[in-house]
Chains A and B, each alone.
Chain A
Amino acid sequence: AQSVTQLDSQVPVFEEAPVELRCNYSSSVSVYLFWYVQYPNQGLQLLLKYLSGSTLVKGINGFEAEFNKSQTSFHLRKPSVHISDTAEYFCAGGRGHDYKLSFGAGTTVTVRA
């Protein structure tokens, strides 16, 4: 199964500053990767996903991520955050024909004014 590691458990950031959330995965064979966001008391919502093709993936709410095969990474970035981006972010992955996702432990982003 795919193994996913999120390198930061908490990321505090000021409003309008950039943010990067780091994610590494364990395999480079037929991998597909996702970033989900979980707002307080809500379900997981898809931000973006990588299946194949262009390594720069754009998602909702101004987020983007870059698939880097040589570094087995899929870091999430946003150039300017808002207070409303305060949430928990999960990186998830799967491999080959496997439909089940392996999730990282999550990164809590707290945006301060």
Chain B
Amino acid sequence: GAGVSQTPSNKVTEKGKYVELRCDPISGHTALYWYRQSLGQGPEFLIYFQGTGAADDSGLPNDRFFAVRPEGSVSTLKIQRTERGDSAVYLCASSLVGGAGETQYFGPGTRLLVL
């Protein structure tokens, strides 16, 4: 079956602009996660959704970052007033129910470059 998909695959924007990154999880997966991977580092947790609600947004770096999942499937990560430091690969993952130790399936990521 289809895996996790993310669009766009690459996004170039200017400092101060607004961007939206989209994630389509595996069909039937109720849990969805966003991570951010900076150059030379491992992914860092941003936010976790269980269904439509954000169960844990403790990893969001500041209030410029926001994510939604209105129908419990597709999720959008929104970044306002982008800064050069936001440049990174944004990864989305999904899992069946969101339990501890459950396998998270990752998408290919969106590479964001803020000029």
Which residues of A come within 8 Å of B, CB atoms?
4, 6, 32, 34, 36, 41-46, 49, 51, 90, 92, 94, 96-106
Contact = CB atoms under 8 A, between A and B. Distances in A.
B104 A101 contact: yes
Given A32-B101, A43-B91, A100 B43 contact: no
Interface stretch (B64-72, B74-82, B106-114): B106-114
B109 A43 contact: yes
Interface in B2-48: 3-4, 31, 33, 35, 40-45, 48
Contacts of B4: 43
Contacts, number: 63
A80 B109 CA distance: 30
A59 to B, nearest CB: 12
Nearest to B44: A103
Given A32-B101, A43-B3, A102 B45 contact: yes
| Chain B binding surface SS class | loop
A36 B48 CA distance: 19
B51 interface: no
B99 to A, nearest CB: 7
Interface of B: 3-4, 31, 33, 35, 40-45, 48, 56, 59, 91, 93, 95, 98-109
Contact of B42 (A46, A90, A98): A90
Given A41-B108, A43-B108, A43-B109, A90 B43 contact: yes
Contacts of B106: 36, 43-45
25 contacts: A32-B100, A41-B108, A43-B3, A43-B4, A43-B91, A43-B106, A43-B108, A44-B91, A44-B93, A49-B103, A51-B101, A90-B43, A94-B101, A99-B31, A99-B48, A99-B95, A99-B102, A100-B56, A101-B43, A101-B45, A101-B104, A103-B42, A104-B42, A106-B40, A106-B41
The 6 closest A-B pairs by CB, nearest first: A103-B42, A44-B106, A32-B101, A43-B106, A100-B45, A43-B108
Contacts of A106: 40-42
